[in-house]
Every structure is written in C-alpha cells, then in structure tokens.
Structure 1
C-alpha cells in the first residue's frame, strides 16, 4: 500500500475541520496505531520527526513478511519494522523507506500446556500472540477471560513484540521478571528470508538476542509465545501527594520516604512510580501484589503518621489511599468503567470495540512531542545506611531542575529469585539486576510537527525543559556514574549507547547480528551493529565497508 499521511489535510487548511479531526485523533493511540503513516510519538527536539514510509506491506501472515524482506534485500531498500508504533527514539518510522507493518497480525491464543519446538521441558501454561498485538488486548484475553497473568508493559497500547525485544517492564516485574524473560519461543524472519523458530533449544543464540537485544535489529518477529503465571487474588495501589512547606522540610520528607522504601518496601511486592517534583512535592503512585490491604496499611502507617503529625511542615494535597481489587479485573474494561471510570479512556471512533481502552495516565503520551528524555538505573547499594544521605541529596538536587520519576518496577534488586535468575538469561543490561529503581527525567508537549503551520512545537519551552532535564540527570549521575540506561526509555543522544543499553552483553549481541544479518538489512539507529552506518541508515560508513 502507498502510505498517505492524514496530516496532508493540515497542509491544505491548517485551521479547517479536517485538520482538527486529525489532531483530535492524535490523542487516541488506537487511531494512531491503525494508520501506517503515524507514530505514537510525533517527534523529539533536535533529534527526529515522524515521517511516513513511501510504501508499507500490511502483513497478515508470515509469508507476507518473507516476501517483504526478500524484496527489500534484493532491491537494497531501507526497511522499517512497525507493530504498535511506540518508539521514543524514532525507530518506528523513516522517510524513503518500505515499512513492514505487522498491526494486523494480532491473533492471541491461550495454551494450557505449551511445549517449545524440540524442547524436552514439561508442558506449561502460555499465550501465543502475533507481532501486531498490543498489551491491553493480551491482558484482556489472558487475565480477564483466562484468569492467568502474563508479564507485559504498563502502557496498554504498546506492541507486545517491540516491548519484549527491548526488555519490557510492568507494574509487577520485581516479582514476575521482565517481559523478555517470559519469552518461551519466537518465530522470526531473518535477513535471508528464512523463517526460523527461536527458543532455548532451536537457534538459542538468536533466542537470547531477541530477549532484550532491541526490536527491528535481528529480523522481523512474527509470533511470540510467553509464559503465563497463576493470578494472585488481588492487586493493590497506594497513592498520596504531599507538599512540604520548605526546602528543609522536603529534605526530611524525601529522607523519610527513602527510609521507608529501603526498610519496608524494597522487595518483590512493590512497583510503579514515585515523583519527586520541583516545588517540594512528593507524589506517590505505587502498585503492589502478594499483600493484603491490612498488610499494606501496616507498612505505611508510620510514614503517614509522620506526615500527619508534623505540624505545618507537610500537607497532604491528595489524601493517602491504600486499596486492593480483584486481580482478575485489573484490565477488565467493563469493571473499571463501573468502579473507576476516570482511570480509563476509550477509543472514541465509531464502531470501535468496547475493549479498545487505554489508561488516562497515558493520555499525555498519545502523539506527544518529546523535549528531552533521560533514564538511569540507580544501584541498590545507594539504599545502604551510609549511602542513603547521598541518594537523598542527589534526588533533591535533581528535583530543583525537573521532576524525577522513580520507576521501582524497572529495577530488579530486591525482587524475587525467579525474576532475577530469569533476567540473567536475557540480553538486557545486567545493571538492571543490581538496580533498585530506574530514574526517568523527561518532558513532552502536545502533538506538533515542524513546518506545519499552526501546529509547530513550542521550541522555546522545549529547549528550556531539555536544559532542566540535562541538569537533573547530571545530579543523579554523581551517585550512579555507570548506571546505564533502559533502551526503550532513554535519550536519543545517549553517547556511549552500547555500554548504556547492554553493558557486557554488547559484544555477544554484535556477533549474533553479524551472523544473521551481515549486510545490515535491518537498521535501527543506536541498535546493535548500527555504528557501521550513517544516522539515517542509508549509507555504510567507510571504516566499516
């Protein structure tokens, strides 16, 4: 299919109704996902802009992917592989390219007793998904309808294949591990057009690389089979927002939270986010599993009392809430609409399936324009008694410049033995095993496109925010100089990306890349083997010819 961008309507009439409809659609991730010309991120300041491919192969079966790979290789074409279309680093689009678009390959099949091809392992419960499936639909099948748990991502409209190849974390990763570690088997079309099965027995090197080595690099994944787990009775949430009256009070508050986390929450039960914000604000939005409400209440009791009894030093701007709900209803759209309708938004296009929902918390990411993005794993050694004051000071210094998001589920330290052991078998940077948290510092604006009259990004605001992000992450690097970054959520300008994304695993990944794709048909900027190519992927650098 020839790819035609709906943004053409805005070039003709930027203030017209048709253009307004397009920008309304850009706040609906399902609208974006169903259009081959669009991506879930509109662009990134001074880095990249979403630009459609010239043609796309709307693949519906593996044979379509084989045909597209062979055609691109034989005609020396720039290839883009796209499933869910979520990529902060811009790898879901490229101008003058042929796109292999797997959106329609979205079948989801549950297995009570799956055995990987050639394996002698005992059968186990699993789910097989097509490369174009998104997590919200997979959770609906596995959990709402199937009563099981599968480790996926937090944002429900992210593609399964892309998240898993990048590593992949969800709210409960400290207990269940990464999404990459849950992979039992993949079907992949490599650069020679051959369909291969990759699992622990068949093509084990390729299997290892697909578990965190980066999407669109080793071939086109067409099908994935993931381990599923017994579902707990309940999942829980703990939330509150606290305003400190002064800088000294904020220091005391952040210190008290770090103590609480290190002493009582640093285990397999807790995940999700705490925001340390400019203006002396602490915003807590954590998830938990494996605990009753009473157990969770007891863990937080002393901290809540400290805040409540501190006189004028602290004030709850959002009251503490610790609640649990049936785990089987965690992604049940009908149940959520009844109990917490404000938590989800729906695909509002006529005729859209009722299960096309997404978290309201992810609305800002739909069609967003990124000002800057940094991530850094913080080692668990910073939770040791003598190190805690350094950690607190670094967090406070960073929060002078930008909000510091602490994603506790994206560091596996303190997690279950199974989560840690399985992560060691993947290509993800080993730094994740020793990290208690992934710190993310980022900023974004609404959908915007340079050169589109009336819809350009606010560059002055973007540059101001980008400068703040750079200063904030600089403060954190003082205590974690070798932390590494999470591939899927990181800076476009990551200087030592091989080490940051993969650490000691990079050498082996590069060998696998050279084995399966020696000519570099599959190019992803800052992907394995990309140092041999120009930034746009169109020219092999002289030193690597």
Structure 2
C-alpha cells in the first residue's frame, strides 16, 4: 500500500525515491560540555495568522497553505533521513477502491491485502508495527477503517501526511528541525498505544521511533546521583514484554518497572506520563526509577538529562507529560532482582449468576478489601463490564501461594457468607516474569472509544464507603443520560507504599492511591460529530463526574484520562504544574511539540477539529 502511494507521489513530483544520499554530519556526538544547551529559536518559522469569527489565531502550516514546504524541500528531507520518509495512508486503505489523500486519488483495493488487514486489525502487535497506526482508532477520525464495501470512502482523516521511519538519531533530529523551520505539526509515535489521540494529528509530520531496540545492561551505575546499583539503558522502541524477557534471560534475572500491557513502549510517553504497572506498589512509578535520559530538544540539539545535567528537564521528563519537552532517545532505569511471585484470578459473571444485585454485591465485596490488598504490597488488575467482574490477576511479588491465599481469604469468606458464586484460583511462580507470561493477556486493537478515568485514594476506599463507591460505579454503567456501551478497567496499586515521596513530576496525591479506574465509552460506527460531542459530554459530566463525586484525591492519570475535563493542570500534576509549565516554556516555548492537555498548551486547540492553532487575540 505504502509503496503504491509513494509511487503516485513520486510521479506527481512530490517525493523522490532514488535520491543521492547526503553525507550528514551527526551532530549528536557534539554535546556542549558545559551542560548549558543553546536554545536558539531564530530559525523557526512563524505561525500562520488565521482569523476565525474575528478571533486571531496562529496556526501550524498545512497542505494547501502557501507556507507548506515545496516538493523539493520534502525531497531534501528524504535525502537527509536516508530515504526513510514515506507518504502515509490509513491501514484500512487496501479494503477501499481508492484513497483520496492530499496528493490526489490513488487506486488502493487489494483483496488479499484487505483480507489480511481484516484478520490483523485487532492485533495489538501488528498495529504497533505499522508506521503511524493508532491502537484505538477514535482520534484518527475513522475515515478509512477496513470495510467489506470497497466503494466506501477512504481519506486520511487525522493521520499524519508523512512519516519518518527513523533508524538513526540523526533522522529524529532532521524531523524535529524540519518541523520547527517550516511550522509543521509534529507527532511523535512509538507504538501508538494511546487512548486520547496524542499519537495522531491532522496534517502532521510523524516521527516513528519504533525501530530503536538497543539495550545496555549496567552492573553498577556510575552516573550522576547517589544511586550506584544495577541499571539498564533502553532505546526508544523497546516495549514492556521485550525488556522483561531480556531481563529474565540475565543471570540472575532482572526486572524493571513496566506497564502491564506487553506492547507499551518504555521510553517516551509511558514514562513521561509516570508509568504504572505490576511493580508500582513495591517500586513506585516507572518515572520514579529513571536515572538519565538522552534526548533531542525542540531546538534540535542533543542533550543529556539527569540529576545534575539539565536537572529541570530531567524532572519534567519523569511524569511531566508526553511530547512536551524533548524527544526521548534513551532512558536509563534502575533494575531489580526478579523474585518468586504468586498470582490469582477471580471471576464473577453471568455464568455464575444472572441476578444483578448478587453480582453488584460481589463487586462490592472485592472493593471492600482494596486498601487491604495494596497495604500488603499487592497489585491487582481488573475489568468491570455489565454483570462481569474479571480480576486477572492479583500479583503478589515475593509471596508464596499460601501467603496470597491468606491475604485474599477474608474477601472470599465474605463472598461465601453472602452466597455469591465465584471462580477463584491461585498459583505460584518461580519468577514474576513467569507470572507475567501466564496471567497477563495481550490486549486488542482497532476499537473506537473515548476514555476517561479517576483515582480513588485510601480514604475514598475505606470499607465503610464501599456502598457510596458502588453507587458511583452504577452511574458509570447507567449515566443520567443514556449512552452506548461503557466499561471500566481498574488497577489497585499505591506508588507511595515504598516510595512515599515522589522521585518524579507525578501528582503528589498518587502517594496515597488505592484504585485507579479507566472509564470507556464504545463509539458506534458511522456516528456524526453531534453524537460524538454528546458522548464526550456524557463521559466528562456523567461518568467521570460520578467517580469524582466519591473521591477526595482530585487526581487522575495524564495518559489515561479525559483531556477535556476542567482544571486538567491540577488534576494531572497538582502542585508540580507551575514548575512544569516554566520548564516547558524554557525548552519548547514555540510549541514545536504538542500533545493535548500537557504543560504549556493553554491557548492551543483544534479549529474545526483539524488545524492546530494558538489563540493570539
């Protein structure tokens, strides 16, 4: 598909495929020894002045604007990045007769390719491997999904126009420089594991960092700071399961704090959001365990950030918001010895009871012990669908199956006392990695949904308040205004269990957390803009408001929450926000990078849900 579109673009004189390779001096090796980066913005193109309803905006430059770079400029960029610039199209294009993109109409239908895409479209690993695909598709505009009707329309939607499939750090630098010098919207994309649209952007240039897979194990870290234990330096493209598998192969086996999902990238947006996973109760957020970064700044310079060198940038990158300060090339993190672990599963669903009251009573009994679980060092991942509670798994690191059984037994006794049917199993593993491989499941891709979420702290989850929490949960599934199908993904963890004071820019309230819930509304195919706006209003003002009403935390997670809620600044970062905004204004004052509802983006927004602009008057 990409080859055919690129061929068409070449024929139109827009991209050149056989270009003489330029010898590009790798500026990444010439770091300023004084550690004071020269943040020079004199080569940046100005925003494009635009008026909408008499209001003055400064906008990024888009295809069709007179400021859009000429074909020769894109050709030169392609040379600079060693031919890795490609013309983008949605993954579903092969199922449509034509793709109507910015460069014209291209014939794209391929029956065999379409069948393959339909088979793989919900496969998370396949989606991650694509140049610019989104794991969940709502924010792409849904303009070219795989279809059984080849005559259906296929357009670019909110996908980027071009993608740099970077294989060298110099390619990333070239993309950042090109975007800055030409006022192009820039999107950073590693895995596309993104619930709220930060990995896509209308009319953008995408830099794909997924190819960077270098890993360096460090027996004794000798960098800045007081830590001198074992560590690992990972490149931007390394994913959760990859690093856990590599660590498991060490002697003795090692682990890092990763997410629960196997395809989540470690460096980049995951750590810039904080990064929570099965080890978080014991070791804090992933961001709490970072020792150093190597980055490309918005001004196109290479920089190292650690406790001493560019310390403000180091702090901000550790949970201060994705795509906000610099492109992460590598991250160095603490490692820990892997340990024995035990896991358990609990299911209460329609195979056990069709009585909604019985099911809700079982769900309440589980949540009544939430504080008990995290106060004993557990991590628990669960899902709530209508009349389905699926807890998979309870994670008990450095505990035997008997110890985990004893911790869970009070809850099981309560279920038995209330005659609530359930299915429970507990299992012991030699290492956490063995547990991870057995009990954590691959997630699906290709769905269309909008997401929110909220954190409930220890006080909120006091057992005496369980009825209030359950009333809020019921409102999630039956909001004041009817919506479509909704569900929740829950996580019981407390980053403050062993890391009571944040070693990162994450919201201080997380140090007293118990339950973090992601709320979701499935968006039906083919709904119009008005209905989408209605669903967003239901999410913000009914579903998430129900959780906020029983919470005193005033805190949620930047990567898995509603970006359109009020006071996102305080709810994502609390007292850390003013520092983060100042840091953003220092390292990226022009908005070369952009991700919705991140520090310093006040005033920025989308006009007509497409063009990224900043209000100037």
Q: Does TM-score exceed 0.5, indicating one fold? A: yes
> Which position in structure 1 is the counterpart of 2:259?
153
Unaligned runs of 5+ in 1: 344-358, 451-455
Distance 2:225 2:489 in 1: 43
**SS, match of residue 485 in structure 1:** coil
**Other-structure match for 1:320:** 424
Paired residue for 1:347? none
Query: Using the alignment, how far apart are the partners of 2:138 and 2:564 within structure 1?
Result: 14
User: Is 1:420 matched up with 2:515?
Assistant: no
Correspondence list, 1:37-436, <5 A: 37-44=132-139, 51-116=158-223, 119=224, 121=226, 123-145=228-250, 147-161=253-267, 162-241=269-348, 243=352, 246=355, 249-250=358-359, 252-262=361-371, 264-279=372-387, 281-285=388-392, 286-308=394-416, 310=418, 313-316=419-422, 319-327=423-431, 329-330=433-434, 360-363=441-444, 366-370=445-449, 372-384=450-462, 386-400=464-478, 402-409=486-493, 411-412=494-495, 415-416=497-498, 419-421=499-501, 424-436=502-514
Q: Which residue of 2 aligns with 1:20?
A: 115
Q: Which residue of 2 aligns with 1:480?
A: 551
Alpha-carbon spacing, 1:224–1:539, altered in 2? closer, same or farther (3 Å):
same
Q: Residues 465, 327 of structure 1: CA spacing in aligned structure 2 closer, same or farther, 3 A cutoff?
A: farther
Question: Is the contact between residue 270 and residue 287 of structure 1 (CA under 8 Å) also seen in structure 2?
Answer: yes
Distance 1:241 1:387, change over 3 A: closer
Listed as ranges, the gaps of 5+ residues in structure 2 are: 1-84, 99-108, 144-155, 480-485
The change in CA–CA distance for 1:247 and 1:94 in structure 2 (over 3 A counts) is: closer
Asked if residue 10 in structure 1 is aligned to residue 81 in structure 2, the reply is no
1:246 CA drift (Å): 4.6
Residue of structure 2 equivalent to 1:540? 614
In the aligned structure 1, how far is the partner of 2:528 from the partner of 2:435?
A: 34
Deviation of 1:438 after TM superposition, in Å, equals 0.7
Partner of 2:571: 500
RMSD across aligned positions (CA): 3.2
CA distance in 2, matches of 1:266, 1:15: 52
Q: Determine if the alignment matches structure 1 residue 31 to structure 2 residue 126.
A: yes
Mapped to 1, the partners of 2:173 and 2:491 lie a distance apart of 38
CA contact (8 A) 1:442 1:469 kept: no
1:42-64 residue CA offsets vs partner (Å, 9 max, x unmatched): 12498999633222222222222
* Aligned 8 A contact 2:142 2:157 in 1: no
Q: Which has the higher contact order (CA 8 A, sep 6+)?
A: 1
- Distance of 1:218 and 1:491 partners within structure 2: 21
- How far did residue 303 of structure 1 move? 3.0
- Cα separation, 2, equivalents of 1:385 and 1:222: 45
Tell me, yes or no, if the aligned pair for 1:39 and 1:50 is still in contact at 8 Å: no
Determine the C-alpha separation between the residues in 2 that align with 1:481 and 1:123: 38
**C-alpha displacement of 1:232:** 1.3
Q: Is the 8 A contact 2:345 2:424 kept in 1?
A: yes
What is the Cα deviation at residue 525 of structure 1? 1.9
C-alpha distance in 2 between matches for 1:257 and 1:331 = 22
The 1:465–1:239 alpha-carbon spacing in structure 2 relative to 1, beyond 3 Å, is farther
Q: Find the aligned partners of 1:73 and 1:127 in 2 and give their Cα distance.
A: 32
**In the alignment, what sits opposite 2:61?**
none
State the alpha-carbon separation in 2 of the partners of residues 259 and 492 from structure 1: 30
Q: Please, which moves more after superposition, 242-251 or 519-528?
A: 242-251
Contact 2:244–2:433 (Cα < 8 Å) also in 1? no
Distance 1:306 1:375 in 2: 28
Contact kept, 8 Å, 2:365 with 2:415, in 1: the verdict is no
User: What is the CA distance between 1:489 and its match in structure 2?
Assistant: 0.8
Distance in 2, matches of 1:120 and 1:510, equals 25
Contact 1:235-1:330 within 8 A present in 2 as well: no
Structure of higher CA gyration radius: 2
Cα distance change on mapping 1:531 and 1:302 into 2, 3 Å: closer
Checking the alignment, whether the CA contact within 8 Å between 1:51 and 1:93 is kept in structure 2 is yes
> Judging changes above 3 Å, is the alpha-carbon distance between structure 1 residues 230 and 509 closer, same or farther for their aligned structure 2 residues?
same
Q: Contact (CA 8 Å) 1:47, 1:492: kept in 2 or not?
A: no
1:290 positional shift: 2.6
Assess, with a 3 A threshold, how the Cα gap between structure 1 residues 61 and 16 changes in structure 2: closer, same or farther. Answer: closer
TM-score between the two structures when normalised by the length of structure 1? 0.82
Q: Do the aligned residues in 1 keep the contact of 2:457 with 2:552 (CA within 8 Å)? A: no
> Which deviates further from its counterpart, 502-511 or 380-389?
380-389
Alpha-carbon distance in structure 2 between the residues aligned to 1:133 and 1:260 = 35
| Residue matched to 2:582 | 511
Q: How many angstroms apart in 2 are the aligned matches of 1:9 and 1:458? A: 26
TM-score, structure 2 as length reference: 0.73
Quickly say closer, same or farther: Cα 1:266–1:482, change in 2 above 3 A. Answer: closer
SS in 2 for 1:56: strand
Question: Which whole-Å CA distance do the structure 2 matches of 1:273 and 1:512 have between them?
Answer: 34
- Count, aligned residues: 496
Deviates more, 1:186-195 or 1:141-150: 141-150
Query: How far did residue 491 of structure 1 move?
Result: 1.8
